[in-house]
Structure 1
């Protein structure tokens, strides 16, 4: 794929590193509101074109795919414009702010016969697939715990009276959509949709969640997902069954290493050779596009849509309102 990017944050840098590792992918253009903001990344990865006009970039016939890493609230508009211009789309998490936005993008992609991907990296990792394959060793699952806590430097700005995008309801920010969403994708991909969801959050006076606990109730077990941007913590996943437990060291985000404990024995699993977690999702997306495998794309979108529904239910429970909810 010949790719263009929207955004210049650290996740774009990581994505461009992944592009370099996928032989059949190439980034040929970048968009930024200000030319100087994109120059450093463009020079680092030898990207020839920088656009300050999205319309001009979308009109470039050499660009096949748009990678979107703009502020959360802009994901829908940027993806809709890209699809309308005949481009495939890889959209960073969170996919959209609302269910309606997700449904519109999926319908448009199908209508245009284009590929649309949710760039949630952890469900494409080799170690995630090993986890899924080995769950049966644990016997009946009774409890799942996930913790992804990462103190945000932007939180200091919030405490100082500023409102950075990641903590702004107008930009669909907050801990749930920025960090706990990795846990949500992880659990949903393994076990399907829960019967019920509740979300208890620490909230800033502006209404945004700076940390919180998401509880997912299944017929025979409970999953507890913690996401925090206002504290440091020990990141981990524990999946506990009647015959043993599975420990994902450092959490669901990267699935760096997996330990299975059964019958007083510990087995370590690790199939990941690249430290760049975005490499695996990009390689999978590229393969789907090359094979014109719309069925696989649509199955991934079914999962994405369900997770969007879950985030909206959680926000509703915690009374977290975005500007996008009012559109």
Structure 2
């Protein structure tokens, strides 16, 4: 795997460090402003810097594109890369709407390319350990997931300055920026719910600054709380008739996982330390590409489709409108 990088923001800088740690070469960088991109390219030994995206995609010294742009641009830039037969790693959320995700899934499959959403929990062995032990819980009844982190951008928002994280035109908000981790965790294990309800705290420009998402699966319910305007300890609990699993960490990391059974059994489910979770996910993606493991990859793509179904339905429930909805 050789990677072409799209963007030059904070998440891109984090990704470049992780690609380097994983031993995955990055050979080209695209950004709007070459003067901003060149120092970053020099720091990480990237050979080419482009400001023309079409020209960037024609460069044959990378097979995979990493996209770390604002949410609203994920679909457009991913679609163009896939249409040029490039594999794509796109930051979460991979699209703004369910329809966009369905299009990406179909085009990527038709082109026989790999498509990955960079959501770290998905690639963790601990997440699979949770899946393997669900049967120990008996009948699942309740799931609680909370990821609430006060955003440094919220102070500016309160003063009337709208940065991308709180801009509906750029597909921002608490649901897409932070609650998305909870949604991915739940849908990756249980699929698409029967009904979706989102009760949100809505700001002055129509964006959600925090909210409570309820997923009704019929025999069991999931409640996902995400906030950018307040803070609380993160965690996840999956409750069943025979016990529960608790995760004492952010849902994107899946660490400190413990099984509690009604008979008194307690067991830590954490496997060996995988190191930096972003570095680990890139290693997993590389192995999928090396092994031509489309079956595994597209099981994740289908999980992303389920997540986008929930996110789109949640926004509709709360009356949150993105610019992408009008296209």
How far 1:276 sits from its partner (Å)? 1.5
SS, match of residue 144 in structure 1: strand
Q: Does residue 134 of structure 1 match 2:133?
A: yes
State how far apart, in whole Å, the 1-side matches of 2:229 and 2:170 are.
18
- Aligned pairs (5 A) from 1:115-194: 115-194=114-193
C-alpha contact (below 8 Å) 1:204/1:210 kept by paired residues: yes
CA displacement 1:273-325 (0-9 Å, x = unmatched): 23311223222221221122222222221111111111111100000000000
C-alpha contact (below 8 Å) 2:82/2:88 kept by paired residues: yes
SS, match of residue 62 in structure 1: coil
Counterpart position of 2:52: 53
C-alpha contact (below 8 Å) 1:138/1:244 kept by paired residues: yes
- Aligned pairs (5 A) from 1:30-41: 30-41=29-40
Give the alignment's TM-score, normalised by structure 1. Answer: 0.95
Counterpart position of 2:298: 298
How far 1:75 sits from its partner (Å)? 0.6
Q: Does residue 273 of structure 1 match 2:302?
A: no
SS, match of residue 90 in structure 2: strand
C-alpha contact (below 8 Å) 2:119/2:252 kept by paired residues: no
Counterpart position of 1:236: 235
Counterpart position of 1:27: 26
Counterpart position of 1:210: 209
Counterpart position of 1:7: 7
State how far apart, in whole Å, the 1-side matches of 2:238 and 2:140 are.
7
Give the alignment's TM-score, normalised by structure 2. Answer: 0.95
SS, match of residue 153 in structure 1: coil
Counterpart position of 1:283: 283
Q: Does residue 86 of structure 1 match 2:58?
A: no
**RMSD between aligned residues:** 1.6
CA displacement 1:27-81 (0-9 Å, x = unmatched): 1122222234334543443223222221221121112111111111101111111
How far 1:180 sits from its partner (Å)? 0.5
SS, match of residue 5 in structure 1: strand
State how far apart, in whole Å, the 2-side matches of 1:310 and 1:35 are.
38
C-alpha contact (below 8 Å) 2:7/2:30 kept by paired residues: yes
SS, match of residue 153 in structure 2: helix
How far 1:265 sits from its partner (Å)? 4.1
What residue ranges of structure 2 are gaps of 5+ in the alignment? Answer: none
State how far apart, in whole Å, the 1-side matches of 2:112 and 2:243 are.
45
Structure 1 stretch displaced more, 9-18 or 94-103: 9-18
How far 1:239 sits from its partner (Å)? 1.0
C-alpha contact (below 8 Å) 1:146/1:251 kept by paired residues: no
